[in-house]
Amino acid sequence: MQFIISSFIFFILFFFLWNVRLPMLSSVKETWIWNKEGAFGTFPPGEGEDPLKVLNGYRLEGRYYSFATNRFVPFEEPFKLDYALLSQGYLEYQKIGDEVNFYSDSGELFWKKPINSYPRSGYFGTPVLYLSGDNNTVFVLDNSGNASGLGELNGRFLTDYDFAQNGKGAVVLFSGGEIYRIDEKGNKIFSADLSSDKNESFFKSVSLSPNGSFTLVHFSSKKKDYLMILDEKGEATDEWELSQFYPHKIYLSIGNRKNSVLNSVDTVQFFKEDKLVWEEKKEKAGSVYQANFAFPSGFAYGLEKEIVFLDAEGNKIRKKNLPSSEFPIRFFSGKEPNTAYLETKKDIYQIRLFE
């Protein structure tokens, strides 16, 4: 009888509660991929994208390693290299020069162009931004070295730029407030002069959300610092004052839900739209550069000798310790959603975030 009553209660509860959605915890999967100096790695992960087929290569002490050819290509000053992270080939240029050469991953010269600006290729090389020596013009070219879309972006001293993780273009910010959001062909999505209603303003930092819909801008006005969120039309949806003034660029990330992370020399802050949710002071001040990255479903940032992972609402879901010899580090996106790569001084890891 007790068994029958217990079974009856179980089936009643199951009938009424089976459709209740329980909260799922986000999780992080980390896979070591590659040792940069030794040029060796592990087998590709059993699921998800294959890093050795997706990634272009990496730079290491005057050498460029191509995953496609499994070999190093040396380069020496005054020559420098730039390459798209998720497509093949590389650009050779001189910072003070008048020529840019594009090589295939096998080292074959594909084209040579008389260009006296230096390139930034982003994730897919569509478009490639060429920065002028005086930093007042950014030329927009395709991966064949031809003018594309708007052709050139002009402003009062370039301060920052960011590329869309989904390959849908880039955003370019000048200190005078001129901002350009362009698509993968260099065509205008929006442009504006953000200083038009802000006296004595100086624009310093910019970040794109993973889906490219939101732009986070950092600027100063009268010795106070602010953040501003622009929507996909370039309209300001949120603006708020920061707790302190930064005389330099700060490293920002903004998610697809308009939440954002600020990682500065002395603090980490998480904002839900324009509201500060939490702040973590650092034990000692670091350099201006601080690793900071937004997944479609979360965030990752460097904190002294740790890497911290957050879900989209700013809850900490994992920490990873790294020896100081591995810093500085950087994150960059893979091709699949919520897949990214962590590059340290010595190694490359694949990071997958599960929601």
Contact between residue 188 and residue 149 where contact means Cβ atoms under 8 Å apart: yes
Residue 194 one-letter amino acid: L
Strand (E) or helix (H) holding 51:
helix 51-54
Tell me what pLDDT residue 77 has. 83
Residue 240 has pLDDT above 90, yes or no: yes
Residue 201 has pLDDT above 90, yes or no: yes
- Which tokens in the block code for residue 347? 């190694």
Contact between residue 312 and residue 297 where contact means Cβ atoms under 8 Å apart: yes
Question: What domains does the chain contain, in order, with CATH numbers?
Answer: 23-69+128-354 (2.40.128.630)
Tell me what pLDDT residue 25 has. 58
Name the 3-class secondary structure at 321: strand
Find tokens 């991966």 and name the residue. Answer: 143
Mean confidence (pLDDT) of the chain: 92
Instruction: Report pTM.
Output: 0.91
pLDDT in tens, 77-98: 889 999 999 999 999 999 888 9
Residue 336 has pLDDT above 90, yes or no: yes
Q: How many CB atoms within 10 Å of residue 21?
A: 5
Contact between residue 212 and residue 169 where contact means Cβ atoms under 8 Å apart: yes
Strand (E) or helix (H) holding 191:
strand 188-193
Strand (E) or helix (H) holding 141:
strand 137-141
Contact between residue 162 and residue 146 where contact means Cβ atoms under 8 Å apart: no
pLDDT in tens, 134-175: 999 999 999 999 999 999 999 999 999 999 999 999 999 999
Find tokens 């972006």 and name the residue. Answer: 153
pLDDT in tens, 156-167: 999 999 999 999
**21-25, 215-219, 274-278, 335-339: the lowest-pLDDT one:** 21-25
Closest CA to 140 of 123, 164, 159, 121: 121
Residue 22 has pLDDT above 90, yes or no: no
Q: Calculate mean pLDDT across residues 237-265.
A: 97
Name the 3-class secondary structure at 14: helix
